[in-house]
Structure 1
């Protein structure tokens, strides 16, 4: 059985969580199913790490650049629609050359809508859609009022007409059932994962010597490629409150684009904590682990989504063997039980400060860190790839294909 995997990563050089998730998943899929057809868009001559995992790069339509003339996300919807058609032409061509796909797996909403409603039926191929949220809830969605019915139609097509849906959380599966869009049996929960080739427990003292951080500091850290929609300003507010009670506290922020860091530096100066905050900037994945190991507590101030919240950083934090302070979102509790994580009321800086202080002073913290490692141990990308392949085999057997 050959799987066609269609994705639209936001960075071909792995500068986003979306891209890291896609790249690592494809790496593990190709190790187990070398014939997997991975289809990725690319600007002409754009550097790409996806060649490492055998991806086919289709020319990325330049429609999105028209947003310079009229600012609207709709240009990118058109771009992804064209890419979905190009992927269909490639898959049809592969079939004509005697290399047919049995199942199409799509992890991008616009492409999924087209494949579930048009290209899948035309090519008589079953479609699996990995949904990361409703597109109509996406913070970056098209904001034109007249476009909202189209977004709802897109969600309905992708989620009701695909042969199977993959959800990152049980919360989202339950939401689809309440909406009457999918029976729970048609939705497989396959959470995000961590790369066990990159992230493992490490020595705190050695990491601090490497980074030049004092051994007696109470270190809180955050790691993420971008800071948008993650409430890093609230984290700094909470840290200012924590530092008033814990003068040796320090905060390390790993990631962020230059403009985001500049805004946070200005806020830190206004809060009087600028001498206690480390801004590491965007660094390659291999350099992130020492910051995780150096920390006493790792923070997730907020998530972009609610019922689909399954952030890459949560899995990496736990795999690194550190305590985690995180918002009380039910989807997160699916991975990290409240008895292990240090939960706080979402959107409340004072509650976040209290959770950080509680974690720093908790004599049971080592035991909770060990429990966190055990909770996340099964969530490797190798295990995730195996679940995706097993689902694809099940779907192909259930629905059949013209190729078979």
Structure 2
């Protein structure tokens, strides 16, 4: 369990793409170093990346009172990791890599929405059909200051979690397959 009297801002998911490209979690750590009014909780692997982020946090002066980087956990522990957070973050670098321009379909956003958490998300094309200004605080990708501002906004002006839960009900696997089938048959 996390022991802190500060709001918890977390990232739960893989720390790299399958091509080992960072997903922007370093931006969250940099934002945490600038704004110590929240506790940062990062859960994900691979362990080598988690250790690299621990080293970055330490180099920026963050301590165990500011941040915890858990590393990879079994899928069964993901819901409790998300539940520990007040705000969930999906950062992304400002990159022309196809992963961030078209290929990603971040399932973690659905987990965040379903849990009723406040969300701060990099404003990248692949999330546009999932999120809106009513369901997430959208920020510039690749910018730790913008991410920090989005986190502050989420903490001070929370959005209605019911709107996020409604999005999830429209994006079930069954409904996704129906959309794909309709698209293919046209």
Q: Is it true that 1:315 corresponds to 2:110 in the alignment?
A: yes
How does the TM-score come out when normalised to structure 1?
0.41
Change (3 A) 1:272 1:344: same
Show CA shifts across 1:317-361 (max 9, x none): 111111110112243232111233111112111111011011111
Number of residues paired by the alignment?
A: 176
C-alpha separation in 2, matches of 1:343 and 1:379: 20
Show CA shifts across 1:226-258 (max 9, x none): 334201111100111121xx1xx2111111112
C-alpha separation in 1, matches of 2:133 and 2:79: 25
Q: After superposition, where does 1:23-62 map in structure 2 within 5 Å?
A: none
Q: After superposition, where does 1:2-151 map in structure 2 within 5 Å?
A: none
Q: Is it true that 1:224 corresponds to 2:13 in the alignment?
A: yes
Q: What secondary structure sits across from 2:100 in the alignment?
A: coil
C-alpha separation in 2, matches of 1:338 and 1:332: 12
Change (3 A) 1:218 1:305: same
Q: Which residue of 1 aligns with 2:89?
A: 299
Show CA shifts across 1:170-205 (max 9, x none): xxxxxxxxxxxxxxxxxxxxxxxxxxxxxxxxxxxx
Q: Which residue of 2 aligns with 1:348?
A: 143
Provide the alpha-carbon RMSD of the alignment. 2.2
258, 262, 283: which is aligned to 2:51?
262
Q: What secondary structure sits across from 1:252 in the alignment?
A: strand
Change (3 A) 1:326 1:283: same
Q: Is it true that 1:336 corresponds to 2:131 in the alignment?
A: yes
Runs (4+) of structure 1 moved beyond 6 Å?
none
- Verify the 8 A CA contact 1:220 1:296 in the aligned structure 2: yes
Q: Is it true that 1:278 corresponds to 2:87 in the alignment?
A: no
Q: Which residue of 2 aligns with 1:240?
A: 33
C-alpha separation in 2, matches of 1:366 and 1:231: 23
Q: Which residue of 1 aligns with 2:96?
A: none
Q: Which residue of 2 aligns with 1:290?
A: 80
How does the TM-score come out when normalised to structure 2?
0.84
Show CA shifts across 1:90-144 (max 9, x none): xxxxxxxxxxxxxxxxxxxxxxxxxxxxxxxxxxxxxxxxxxxxxxxxxxxxxxx
C-alpha separation in 2, matches of 1:217 and 1:242: 12
C-alpha separation in 2, matches of 1:212 and 1:218: 11
Show CA shifts across 1:378-404 (max 9, x none): 11123334445x459x74xx9xxxxxx
- Verify the 8 A CA contact 1:238 1:353 in the aligned structure 2: yes
Q: Is it true that 1:373 corresponds to 2:165 in the alignment?
A: yes
C-alpha separation in 1, matches of 2:182 and 2:134: 32
Could you list the runs of 5+ residues in structure 2 that have no partner in the other structure? 94-98
Which structure dedicates a bigger proportion of its chain to helix? 1
Change (3 A) 1:226 1:327: closer
- Verify the 8 A CA contact 2:11 2:42 in the aligned structure 1: yes
- Verify the 8 A CA contact 2:112 2:119 in the aligned structure 1: yes
C-alpha separation in 2, matches of 1:347 and 1:270: 20
Change (3 A) 1:337 1:307: same
C-alpha separation in 1, matches of 2:125 and 2:15: 23
- Verify the 8 A CA contact 1:258 1:281 in the aligned structure 2: yes
Larger Rg: 1
